[in-house]
Amino acid sequence: MPRIIITKAAIQGIKRCRLFLGEENLHAAIRAIQAIKNSFALLQAEPQIRRLLDDRPELRELTSSFKSLDMEHFIVFAATKN
């Protein structure tokens, strides 16, 4: 099973999301973090199903939708290594 390496930019984005949502709506923050965790689990189980980045083929794009929070997509970039 490949190992997920989360980019620094992704970690910062997740922290910003958590801080913003935690201040506005704790339950929404919990749901958002769970959705992100689920995306990482799916990437680890099936790394080939995520979109490759054109300029960085070692990276895959993870997206999670939070339409109820007016955040259509939260994008995380992660690398997978076998």
Whether residue 72 is predicted with pLDDT greater than 50 in this model: the reply is: no
**What domains can you pick out in the chain, each with its CATH number?**
3-81 (3.30.2310)
What one-character DSSP code corresponds to residue 58?
T
Q: State the Cα–Cα distance between residues 59 and 8, nearest whole angstrom.
A: 13
Q: State the Cα–Cα distance between residues 23 and 54, nearest whole angstrom.
A: 35
pTM tops 0.75 = no
Amino acid letter at 82? Answer: N
Helix (H) or strand (E) holding 48: none
What one-character DSSP code corresponds to residue 69?
G
Helix (H) or strand (E) holding 11: helix 8-24
For 15-63, the pLDDT digits (tens) are: 777 787 777 788 877 887 787 788 778 877 887 777 777 777 777 776 6
Tell which wins on pLDDT, 36 or 67: 36
